[in-house]
Amino acid sequence: MAIKIDRTPVRAAYVNARLLDPATGLDGIGGVLTEGEMIKAIGPNVTADMALEGVGIIDCTGLCLAPGLVDIRVHLGEPGEEHKESFASAGRAATEGGVTSMVCLPNTDPVIDDMSVVQFVARRARLQGLTKVYPYGAVTKGARGAEIAELGLLAESGAVAFTDGFTAIADAQVMRRAMLYAATFDLLICQHPEEPSLARGGAMNAGETATRLGLTGIPKQAEIIMIERDIRLLELTKGRLHIAHVSTAESVDAVRHAKARGLKITCDTSPPYFALNENAIGDYRTFAKLSPPLRTEADRQAIVAGIVDGTIDCIASDHLPQDEEEKRLPFGVAATGGVGLETLLPMTLELYHNGHLSLLGAIRLVTSAPADLMRLRAGKLAVGRPADFAIFDPDRGWQVIAKNLSSKSKNSPFDGRPVQGRAVRTVIDGRTVHVEQDG
């Protein structure tokens, strides 16, 4: 049973914790002292003895205390599709998953393509008092891929980066102009890498499995062509480019080679692409219908290798809620996407439990790495920083049951999967916003 109330004293010491801070390499026993919204002290000197100084004590009982997770790819239904997700429901799901900061896609109604919508997002997030929300601005007006939005003004209003979300910027000339405009202000352009004419009408990864199921396939070249095109445009414009949710071996290779040439390119992936393959579709399981689609086992292994060697910079949930009416349809016409806020932590920890990464290395991919990419004041444990952190048990086993998730929509591709790792307390600006209790 999850309780989300603020019981934290004005001054609180979280003691007897395994402190994990990937930004500094910290991995040791100690505590964190908070005062108001900030971290006042950190390290082995923060102990229960501080109770004598009027400090409230929270015993972490040896559990891990790390910076709150930073999720850089979250779709919120609000405004426009509150029946799928809202700031409140997404905030609850995020805090239960240990996520203290998230960056929301601009594909709302209206699209986040002018200053008033950016400001609306900021106001609504503050009113909820849960996970901090930072907006992407749309690259093009209406995210329609034609006329470039006012990127500079959007950045001044609070947009942290720019993307057309789950719509690719297909026109090369538009992308070139957007990258030149963004480079002028040192802004980051994020691309959904899918050539739309190749993907149109497709339902899953093209190949033997699609043929056997009688489904129209999306060739992996739809992703690769877009990434290779944008790398050429990046060479031309000298800007900053981020590729979202890479899912193929060739995509990882393309980014790896571009980095070796010194280009300012980064990329992320999402848990389905390192934890699942196209066989998860099984008997037309629509919860496994995603964009990009689940790929082959060889691609999955290549994504893991890209994470391990650092080609893939961070992990994002790719949280895309869809209601039951849009998922419980024949596979070919069902909506794409899966929820992921509550499973981001345990799925990332699979990389640790499976021996691919150290615990600190796995946590870095969902804390300091995405925070640095988006230039957020998050993802680190440091004196003077906001007291945003998660206390979690990395070994706690549980089973993902979609109907029990806090997201309004329940379309998890990991439904039924046994996992390890769960947030037991989430703290934002020194306030406890989630506590997990037994019973």
Residues recognised as catalytic: 318
Q: Which of 333, 373, 327 minimizes the C-alpha distance to 23?
A: 373
Other Cβ atoms closer than 10 A to 57: 17
Q: Which residues, including other chains, have CB under 8 Å from residue 308's CB and lie 6 or more apart?
A: 356, 357
Phi, psi of 413 (to 5 degrees): -70, -10
Q: Which of 390, 385, 400 minimizes the C-alpha distance to 434?
A: 390
Instruction: Determine which helix (DSSP H) or strand (DSSP E) holds 1, and give its type and residue range.
Output: none
Sign of CA dihedral 118, 239, 68, 411: positive
Q: Are 82 and 355 in contact (CB under 8 A)?
A: no
Burial class (CB in 10 A: 0-12, 13-18, 19+), 236: exposed
Q: Are 266 and 169 in contact (CB under 8 A)?
A: no
Q: Are 268 and 246 in contact (CB under 8 A)?
A: yes
Q: What is d(CA 43, CA 331) in angstroms, rounded to the nearest whole number?
A: 52
Residue 209 β-bridge partners: none
Other Cβ atoms closer than 10 A to 433: 25
Q: What is d(CA 281, CA 184) in angstroms, rounded to the nearest whole number?
A: 44
Q: What is d(CA 155, CA 138) in angstroms, rounded to the nearest whole number?
A: 11
The dihedral over CA atoms of 38, 43, 44, 45, expressed in degrees to the nearest 10, equals -50
3-class SS at 104?
Answer: strand
Burial class (CB in 10 A: 0-12, 13-18, 19+), 220: buried
3-class SS at 52?
Answer: helix
3-class SS at 131?
Answer: coil
Give first-to-last CA distance, the chain, whole Å: 6
DSSP state of 45: T
Q: What is d(CA 344, CA 402) in angstroms, rounded to the nearest whole number?
A: 14
Residue 17 β-bridge partners: 30
